[in-house]
Amino acid sequence: MSSKSRDNDDNCEGQSAVKEELNRKIKEQKVVVDELSNLKKYRKVYIQQRNSNIFFLADRSHTLGACKQELDDMKKDLQDI
């Protein structure tokens, strides 16, 4: 097997791993969006501070919008691959 062929195989395997990881993240994000969509109006939503165990009270509709936008961005990234 030539080195060019091996590089192609490695590239395909790497791209496949990236697609699988992105698909997993998309599934997780769909669950988050569904959970936020089905919350009652009076329920509180907290978001986690990055790289920390601290949570802050957040606006439900703003958080839902941000999560939907993130899901759309991930779907676009998957299509670009």
State the CATH number of the domain containing residue 42: 1.10.287
Position 16 scores a pLDDT of 86
- Tens-digit pLDDT profile for residues 44-81: 999 999 999 999 999 999 999 999 999 999 999 999 88
Domain of 15? 3-80
72, 9 Cβ separation under 8 angstroms: no
Q: Are the beta carbons of 71 and 30 closer than 8 angstroms? A: yes
**pLDDT at res. 15:** 82
Give me the number of domains the chain comprises. Answer: 1
Helix (H, G, I), strand (E, B) or coil at 45: strand
Residue type at position 3 = S
- The per-residue pLDDT for range 1-42, each reduced to its tens digit, is 455 555 556 667 778 888 999 999 999 999 999 999 999 989
Closest to 73 measured CA to CA, from 22, 34, 32 = 22
